[in-house]
């Protein structure tokens, strides 16, 4: 910093243009050391480098890159190793395009199923979002490319997103909306974080000192760079003192001049400018090594197989693997009648999937040939190629597969099975706006009805970014494959699953309710003008449905396989992780009881028998994926940090691990619990100090509380000399009325002296 003028340091605090940081020529510095300009670009599921100009909404075409499954898809794999491999591939593609920082992953919580950008986020649960996001960060940064986790924080809707205030109590903010970010920061050390557009409890994220400095930097120890979302800065000078380092895109020097003026007139300490400029320089230095990690090129002689050095064929194969693991088999039942004749026929009592190549299949729905494979907006990628399911199915089964136009739906009756592709067209969900409803368009549902009239052996394949209403679909479908958005290789992956080349192993990362009205944020989304109230508190997603004992169509964590799995009785033991932090290790033997090799996602949920605060019925604390041969068994091990059991205590502004008996359930979904084990855990010794605002009940909960109360009223005896408190305590119903009264008011009403009150409080706090 010593070689840079104030003006030069201020210039580093905003972009040089739409996608680049500011360059400082070495010749213009006193020390002869300049600052290189580096490129940032969108890329949660593919590198979106625009050849010229730039926009934040995906309006302009970008250079070809691999379109991997968006977060809504790959999150359903629950496979952090796979996600890390995708991150590494994205890093290599970024290097090939001289991109130094990839703007991703997006890890916001799916608070409402109507959020138009849910396709870009992993889950309604912070454990999934945090683990998946951390894996993506590790993969990207393993190549030397920087990551930028986003959008920090509480960016859970698109309606009025540039100014809306997310009005959320600190407990749900900490336990739900910040939890995934905290995990990523403390375990994966992202190079950068992007602050969100919105306000949090009235304060813009870009100028929120509590969020960017007190929590992110001081509490979590984040040492990377904080940049704005594109156009998210409200008042630039406030942002500098709050901890916002880099404003994007560039403002042609306008806000830099504001920073310089504020320093010169004494309203901004130059130390804040120095700190932010230093972090920009550190970002440039931290990503310089990416240039030494040139990706391997394809061995193919076809020039179309190589795009600027990255292996197109290998990355497409990875995209196919990722897509196949992202597909969730929601339903698979027998057709109730024999399908086909001769070799490969399907008996009436056998599940319809996987399909036999001997069966004649009618394929219906435009998504079969024109797939919906990614979201719209800033994450929109120009893919290197796009597979479609119909073509892939014909490769497997040849002329046994026939595509029917919508008008020919009645001809589905001429085939053994109908595979109907349904979903949301891109105009119904996108960055920039939320959905008005969750229904699949009526014309598609009417098409399903017509197919069903002709053939009731139906496999439905879904394509969508946000949860859709299956009320008219589920009764008519013999099987349902939920493909969400699968990236450029999703068509082939869908065929792989339909014909059994891949055994489906995806699991839902968000609940599919029976009714939109049952969903947690229904009454508060998208809110009033300028404000959205997070009235559901900590009860987001499955936590809400469980707390209200609501039936759902498909629960969080649900997903079927072509094989079956049995669970033994789980065991639990206490231990420590590599950093010496307390953990609970849950182990359970899982057996593949079917005829095919398969992958099972073993989920562990915790609950506590008795708590002094409202807690969910159960909550996800860990998971693992096991791959088991038919008839084989393996021990699934889930290491759970005890911090996952803590709640945020608003009285002490800290995490509290409550002592008590915790039950850990090994499960196949949030409502398919296979076995439980209970462990007693000693809690934190963090008693809340007794004050004048504490209640009588809180005083009596302390070891010396009763004696302190009795002593304070010892000279307030009645006519017969008895202690009035002792007399009152003998009458349970009357004393119950007093338990909730603050001590200061008890003292006033009983004419207790300040000295006596203070002595009582002091005595109680000694215990």
Q: Tell me the per-residue pLDDT of 232-243, one tens digit each, with 9 for 90 and over.
A: 999 999 999 999
The values of phi and psi at residue 697, to 5°, are -60, -40
**Rounded average pLDDT over 132-149:** 98
Domains of the chain, with CATH numbers? Answer: 6-292 (3.20.20.300), 321-533 (3.40.50.1700), 563-681 (2.60.40.10), 696-765 (no CATH)
Could you give the C-alpha distances from 725 to 11, 90, 695, 714, in angstroms and in order?
A: 69, 70, 15, 9
Highest mean pLDDT range out of 49-63, 298-312, 513-527?
Answer: 513-527
Active-site pick, 79, 167, 229, 387 = 229
Share of the chain above pLDDT 90, in %: 80
pLDDT at 713: 77
Per-chain mean pLDDT for the chain: 93
The mean per-residue pLDDT over the stretch 455-459 comes to 98
Mean pLDDT of 484-502: 98
pLDDT at 304 over 60: no
Mean pLDDT of 495-499: 99
Look-up of token digits 């849950």: 586
Among the ranges given (10-24, 138-152, 187-201, 306-320), the one the predictor scored with the smallest mean pLDDT: 306-320
Q: How confident is the model at residue 731 (pLDDT cuts 50, 70, 90)?
A: low
Q: What's the pLDDT score for residue 334?
A: 96
Does residue 644 surpass a pLDDT of 80?
Answer: yes
Q: Residue 101 has which token pair?
A: 């920082």
Predicted local confidence at residue 52, as pLDDT: 65
Q: Note the pLDDT of residue 582.
A: 94
- H or E element, residue 565: strand 565-567
Is the pLDDT at 299 greater than 50, yes or no?
no
For position 303, what pLDDT does the model report? 47
In this prediction the pTM is 0.93
Q: Work out the average pLDDT over 434-453.
A: 98
pLDDT at 666: 99
pLDDT digits (tens, 9 = 90+) for 509-544: 999 999 999 999 999 999 999 999 999 999 999 999
- 408 in catalytic set: no
Burial 482-508 (b: 16+ CB within 10 A, else e): bbbbbbbbbbbbbbbbbbbebbbbbbb
In the 8-state DSSP scheme, what is residue 211? I
Among 48-62, 108-122, 174-188, where is mean pLDDT lowest? Answer: 48-62
Cα–Cα distance, 395 to 305 (Å, whole number): 21
Residue 703: pLDDT band by 50, 70, 90 thresholds? confident
- Residue 765 pLDDT level (bands cut at 50, 70, 90): confident
- As a whole-number percent, the residues of the chain with pLDDT over 70 amount to 93
pLDDT band at 758 (very low <50, low <70, confident <90, very high): very high
Give 740: exposed, middle or buried? Use CB within 10 Å, 0-12, 13-18, 19+: exposed
Task: Round to whole Å and give the CA distance between 175 and 189.
Answer: 20
- b/e code 121-141 from CB counts within 10 Å (16+ = b): bbbbbbbbbbbbbbbbbbbbb
The band of 377, judged by pLDDT with boundaries at 50, 70 and 90, is confident
- Spatial strand order in the sheet of 531-533: 203-204, 199-200, 165-167, 531-533
pLDDT the model gives residue 54: 62
Compare 54 and 361 and report the one with higher pLDDT. Answer: 361
pLDDT at position 301 is 46
Q: What CA dihedral angle connects 270, 275, 278 and 280, to 10 degrees?
A: -110
Q: What's the CA gap between 726 and 709, in Å, rounded?
A: 9
**What pLDDT is recorded for position 557?**
99
* pLDDT (0 to 100) of residue 58: 54
Which of 173-177, 301-305, 701-705 has the highest average model confidence (pLDDT)?
173-177
Average pLDDT on 200-223 reads: 98
Q: With CA atoms as reference, report the closest residue to 198 among 541, 430, 532.
A: 532
pLDDT score of 738 more than 70: yes
pLDDT per position as a tens digit, 259-298: 999 999 999 999 999 999 999 999 999 999 766 666 555 4
Does the pLDDT at position 163 exceed 90? yes
| pLDDT at res. 203 | 98
Tell me if residue 150 falls in helix, strand or coil: strand
């Amino acid at each position: 910093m010593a070689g840079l003028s104030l003006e030069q340091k201020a210039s580093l605090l905003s972009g040089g243009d739409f996608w680049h940081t500011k360059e400082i020529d070495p010749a213009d510095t006193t020390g002869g050391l300049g600052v290189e300009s580096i490129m940032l670009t969108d890329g949660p599921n593919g590198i979106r480098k625009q050849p010229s100009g730039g926009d934040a909404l995906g309006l302009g075409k970008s250079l070809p890159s691999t379109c991997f499954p968006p977060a809504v898809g790959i999150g359903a794999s629950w496979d952090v190793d796979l996600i890390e491999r995708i991150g590494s591939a994205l890093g290599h593609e970024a290097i090939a395009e001289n991109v130094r920082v990839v703007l991703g992953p997006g890890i916001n919580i799916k608070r409402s199923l109507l959020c138009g950008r849910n396709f870009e986020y992993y889950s309604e649960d912070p454990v999934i979002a945090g683990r998946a996001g951390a894996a993506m960060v590790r993969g990207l940064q393993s190549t030397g490319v920087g990551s930028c986790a986003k959008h920090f924080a509480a960016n859970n809707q698109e309606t009025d997103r540039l100014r809306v205030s997310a009005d959320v109590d600190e407990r749900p903010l900490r336990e739900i909306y910040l939890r995934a970010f905290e995990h990523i920061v403390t375990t994966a050390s992202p190079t950068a974080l992007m602050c969100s557009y919105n306000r949090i409890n009235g304060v813009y994220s870009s100028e929120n000192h509590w969020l960017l400095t007190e929590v992110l930097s001081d509490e979590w120890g984040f040492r990377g760079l904080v940049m704005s979302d594109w156009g998210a800065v409200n008042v630039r000078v406030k942002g500098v003192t709050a901890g916002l380092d880099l404003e994007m895109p560039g403002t042609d020097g306008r806000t830099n001049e504001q920073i310089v003026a504020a320093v010169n007139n004494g309203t901004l300490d130059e130390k804040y400018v120095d700190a932010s400029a230093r972090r920009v320089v550190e970002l440039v230095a931290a990503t310089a090594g990416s240039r030494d990690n040139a990706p391997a090129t394809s061995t193919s002689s076809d020039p179309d197989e190589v795009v600027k050095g990255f292996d197109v064929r290998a990355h497409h194969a990875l995209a196919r693997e990722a897509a196949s693991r992202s597909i969730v088999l929601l339903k698979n039942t027998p057709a109730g009648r024999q399908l086909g004749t001769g070799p490969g026929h399907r008996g009436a009592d056998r599940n319809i999937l996987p399909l036999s190549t001997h069966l004649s299949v009618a394929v219906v729905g435009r998504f079969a040939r024109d797939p919906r494979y990614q979201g719209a907006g800033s994450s929109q990628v120009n893919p290197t190629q796009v597979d479609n399911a119909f073509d892939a199915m014909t490769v497997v089964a040849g002329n046994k597969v026939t595509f029917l136009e919508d008008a020919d739906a009645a001809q589905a009756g001429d085939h053994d099975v109908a595979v109907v592709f349904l979903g949301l067209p891109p105009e119904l969900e996108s960055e920039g706006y939320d959905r008005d409803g969750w229904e699949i368009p009526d014309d598609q549902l009417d098409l399903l009805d017509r197919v069903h009239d002709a053939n009731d052996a139906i496999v439905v394949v879904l394509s969508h970014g946000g949860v859709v209403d299956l009320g008219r679909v589920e009764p008519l479908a013999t099987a349902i494959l939920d493909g969400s958005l699968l990236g450029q290789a999703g068509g082939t992956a869908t065929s792989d699953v339909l014909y059994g080349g891949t055994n489906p192993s995806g699991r839902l990362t968000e609940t599919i309710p029976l009714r939109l009205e049952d969903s947690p944020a229904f009454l508060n989304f998208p809110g009033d003008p300028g404000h959205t109230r997070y009235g559901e508190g900590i009860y987001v997603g499955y936590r809400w449905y469980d707390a209200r004992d609501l039936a759902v169509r498909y629960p969080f964590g649900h997903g079927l396989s072509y094989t079956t799995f049995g669970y033994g009785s789980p065991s639990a033991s206490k231990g420590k992780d590599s950093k010496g932090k307390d953990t609970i290790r849950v182990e359970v033997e899982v057996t593949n009881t079917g005829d095919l090799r398969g992958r099972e996602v073993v989920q562990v949920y915790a609950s506590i028998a008795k708590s002094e605060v409202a807690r969910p019925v159960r909550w996800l604390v860990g998971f693992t994926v096991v791959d088991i041969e038919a008839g084989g068994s393996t021990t699934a091990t889930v290491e759970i940090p005890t911090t996952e059991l803590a709640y945020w205590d608003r009285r002490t502004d800290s995490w509290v691990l409550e002592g008590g008996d915790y039950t850990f359930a090994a499960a196949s979904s949030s409502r398919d619990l296979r076995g439980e084990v209970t462990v007693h855990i000693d809690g934190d010794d963090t008693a809340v100090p007794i004050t004048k605002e504490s209640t009588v009940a809180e005083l009596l909960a302390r070891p010396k509380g009763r004696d302190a109360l009795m002593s304070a009223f010892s000279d307030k005896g009645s006519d017969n000399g008895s202690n009035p408190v002792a007399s009152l305590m003998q009458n349970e119903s009357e004393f119950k009325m007093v338990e909730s009264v603050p001590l200061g008011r008890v003292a006033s009403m009983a004419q207790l002296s300040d000295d006596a009150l203070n002595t009582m409080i002091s005595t109680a706090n000694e215990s």
